Amino acid sequence: MDHLPIFINIRKKPCIVIGGGDIALRKINLLLKAQAKVDCISPLFCKDIKNLSMDGHITLINKSFEQADIKDYSIIIAATDDKSVNSLISSIAQDKKIPVNVVDSPELSSFIMPSIVDRSPLIIAVSSSGKAPVLARIIRAKLETIIPSAYGILADIAGEYRQKVKDRFSTIKDRRAFWEAVFSGVIAEKVFSGRINEAKEDIQRQLDDSVEMDLGEVYLVGAGPGDPDLLTFKALRLIQQADVVLYDRLVSKGVMELVRRDSELIYVGKKGGSDKSTKQVDINDQLVELAKTGKRVCRLKGGDPFIFGRGGEEIESLSEHGIPFQVVPGITAASGCSSYAGIPLTHRDYSQSCRFVTAHLKNGTTNLPWEEFIIDQQTIVFYMALSGAKYICEKLMEHGMDKDMPIAIIEKGTMPEQKVYISSLIELPALLEREDIHAPTLMIVGEVVKLNEKLNWYGN
């Protein structure tokens, strides 16, 4: 190692930053987060540094740096644009055995300022020893995406119960096994979802009962419209820690590639009118039974679970059986596909409202309030409409919609194979006859479709 990574306690200790610009400001903010007492020396100060002084957070010393300015500080940071001054500060500090950092000059520094992932009291520092700070920041950004902010709360809870766990388990091996179960199981998920008191009660029960607890849970996760980059951080974390994943046909291959390799995969796809479809009641039962065995179960659904995803039906069943669950929203197809097709769902010149409509009801019929659709400056998004597209066009025109109203069919939206077909109500049936279009598709009706020609940015 070029440097030994350490963490220094500078709470309420005097530190000094020499320099008054934006770089100095960033260093001052880091010191303040660590609760240091900060002096700042410079003949000139940027506006934000002055504001920190006015708020009483730091002390400004309005002068050029002199050797006598270095006193008994815990840390010195040189952030001037004068190389000779920075070199002098480094020399004096090291003679006095005071840790010093000279910005962008690792050769003059006795310590390096790392890129930081702050989940206090959990802190992760990433450093390239000053050789590639941009790379360190990129790695930090990757860590930010997979480490929930609530890990700090989890660390605080661990500190609260640390002595009790020591008293309960006599060996390091047993204590380690206990905490591994807490940090990687349902207790941690309760913390992440804000159920702090429940998590503490579960920890106490495990300490009191001295028996294994059956802590299965279900994660109802929205996988988005297809592009795996559209997953939320929370969705990615949960699908990578699930023991079992139940997925449907609308979950893209790219998303499935992110599932933990040793997870059990169960396909529960549904297709309208198909005898091979998995019945919803059977899916509900599977979720309950798997959770009762203590497994972490992810129900992975295309789009958003609560927008035509039957997520409500599934958690009703879980609730009835007392199964703990979480719901993770996903980007619904209407939002994702329209964005990737360059079709804003609302626009001041074309549409002031938007309706999401499913073309299939629970009983297999299409019984829709057609009169409500014939409104100026409204966008209508039809889910699962490919097989009934001709009928939809006929009913809209029958109830008074202009036959030339623009309409878009988006096939495999947000994915590399995406295709966008632009037509009108009167012409769409003929287009469907000519083109070989397959689900998943989304249909958008409204004047906003005209913007596709100008705003189309993805794929074609």
What is the DSSP code (8-state) at residue 275?
A: T
Catalytic residue among 37, 190, 248, 412: 248
**In the 8-state DSSP scheme, what is residue 272?**
T
Tokens for 285?
A: 């039962």
Which amino acid makes up residue 55? D
Compute the distance between CA of residue 287 and CA of residue 290 in angstroms, rounded to an integer.
5
* Cis upstream peptide for 121 (omega within 30°): yes
Contact 331, 304 (CB under 8 A): yes
Q: Round to whole Å and give the CA distance between 136 and 115.
A: 6
Map out the domains of the chain as residue ranges. 14-113, 151-209, 217-331, 334-455
Which pLDDT belongs to residue 42? 96
CATH T-level fold of 334-455? 3.30.950
* Cβ proximity of 335 and 254 under 8 Å: no
- Beta strands of 6-98 (E only): which ranges? 14-18, 37-41, 58-61, 75-78
The verdict on whether residue 225 carries a ligand-binding annotation is yes
**CATH class in words for 14-113:** alpha beta
Task: Give the containing element (helix H, strand E) for 404.
Answer: none
User: Fold identical between 14-113 and 334-455?
Assistant: no
**How is residue 278 annotated by DSSP?**
P
- Architecture of the domain spanning 217-331: 3-Layer(aba) Sandwich (3.40)
Q: Alpha-carbon Rg of the chain, whole angstroms?
A: 29
324 assigned ligand-binding residue = no
Has 384 been labeled as part of a binding site? yes
Q: Tell me, what's the pLDDT at 36?
A: 96
Report the alpha-carbon distance of residue 89 to residue 64 in Å, rounded.
12
β-sheet bridge partners, residue 357: 382
Q: Smallest Cα–Cα separation from 380: which of 349, 359, 403, 361?
A: 359
| 23 annotated as belonging to a binding site for a ligand | yes
* 8 among annotated binding-site residues: no
390 is catalytic: no
Please tell me the predicted confidence (pLDDT) of residue 313: 92
How is residue 13 annotated by DSSP?
-
Tell me: is residue 224 an annotated ligand-binding position.
no
* 3-state SS class at 408: strand
Token digits for 202? Answer: 């579960």
Tokens of 46: 């940027």
Distance (Å, whole) CA 398 – CA 371: 10
> What phi, psi does 321 have (nearest 5°)?
-100, 5
Question: Encoding tokens for residue 450?
Answer: 């005209």
End-to-end CA distance of the chain: 49
138 is in an annotated binding site: no
229 is in an annotated binding site: no
Rounded to whole angstroms, how far apart are CA atoms 38 and 30? Answer: 10
pLDDT score recorded for residue 58 = 96
Catalytic residue among 13, 270, 292, 395: 270
The response to whether 22 counts as a known ligand-binding position is yes
Length of the chain measured in residues: 460
Which tokens in the block code for residue 147?
Answer: 């480490």
* Cα gap 20→47, rounded to integer Å: 9
* Phi, psi values for residue 140, rounded to 5°: -60, -45
| 82 annotated as a binding-site residue | no
Question: Any catalytic annotation for residue 71?
Answer: no
Q: pLDDT tens, position by position, for the chain (460 residues)?
A: 888 889 999 999 999 999 999 999 999 999 999 999 999 999 999 999 999 999 899 999 999 999 999 989 999 999 999 999 999 999 999 999 999 999 989 999 999 989 999 999 999 999 998 889 899 999 999 888 888 889 999 999 999 999 999 999 988 888 888 898 888 778 888 898 889 999 999 899 888 875 555 558 899 999 999 999 999 988 998 998 899 999 999 999 999 999 988 899 999 986 655 556 788 999 999 999 999 988 889 999 999 999 998 899 999 999 999 998 999 999 999 999 999 999 999 999 999 999 999 876 555 556 789 999 999 999 999 998 898 999 999 999 999 999 999 999 999 999 999 999 999 999 999 999 999 999 899 999 999 999 999 999 987 5
Range 141-144, long-range pairs (CB < 8 A, 24+ positions) = 143/117, 144/117
Residue matched to tokens 């197809």: 333
Is 145 marked as binding a ligand? no
The residue to which tokens 């390799």 are assigned: 261
Q: How far apart are CA 199 and CA 386, in angstroms?
A: 46
The answer to whether 193 and 326 are in contact (CB under 8 A) is: yes
- In the prediction, which pLDDT does 402 show? 96
* Residue of 153, 24, 155 whose CA lies nearest to 89: 24
Q: What is the DSSP letter of 303?
A: B
Structure tokens at 246: 């139940």
CA 68, chain centre distance (Å): 49
Write the CA distances from 178 to 175, 194, 213, 238, 326, integer angstroms: 5, 22, 12, 21, 23
Q: Which helix (H) or strand (E) holds 419?
A: strand 419-424
3-class SS of residue 170? coil
Q: Is 302 annotated as a binding residue?
A: yes
CA distance 429 to 368: 20
303 in a known ligand binding site = yes
Q: Of 75, 85, 86, 96, which is closest to residue 7 (Cα–Cα)?
A: 75
CA pair distance 291, 286, nearest whole angstrom: 8
Euclidean distance between CA atoms 169 and 162, whole angstroms: 11
